[in-house]
Amino acid sequence: MSYMLLWMNCGECGKLFASNPHKVPSIDRKIAFCKECIVRANDQRIAMGLEPIAIHPEAYEPVKD
């Protein structure tokens, strides 16, 4: 069994982070966001009365083949 992680820079803060490319919150699968930025965005969304962005439990876990 192999594991795959996609390393990319966060579209918000620019930090390099590992993610599961199939599960990570992204825009058109091109721009993805690290967990810290999603959590921060959700705090703001909730404060504005918007639905929080769903974070898949495996969004930041390796993909298992």
Interacting residues with Zn ion (CB under 5 A): 10, 12-13, 34, 37
- State the minimum distance, in angstroms, from the CB of residue 9 to Zn ion: 8
Q: Look at residues 55, 62, 47, 46 and name the one whose alpha carbon lies nearest to residue 6.
A: 62
Give the nearer residue to Zn ion in terms of CB position, either 12 or 61: 12
Give the nearer residue to Zn ion in terms of CB position, either 8 or 10: 10
Q: Look at residues 62, 59, 51, 50 and name the one whose alpha carbon lies nearest to residue 32.
A: 59
- State the minimum distance, in angstroms, from the CB of residue 3 to Zn ion: 23
Q: Measured between alpha carbons, how far is 45 from 53 in angstroms, rounded to an integer? A: 8
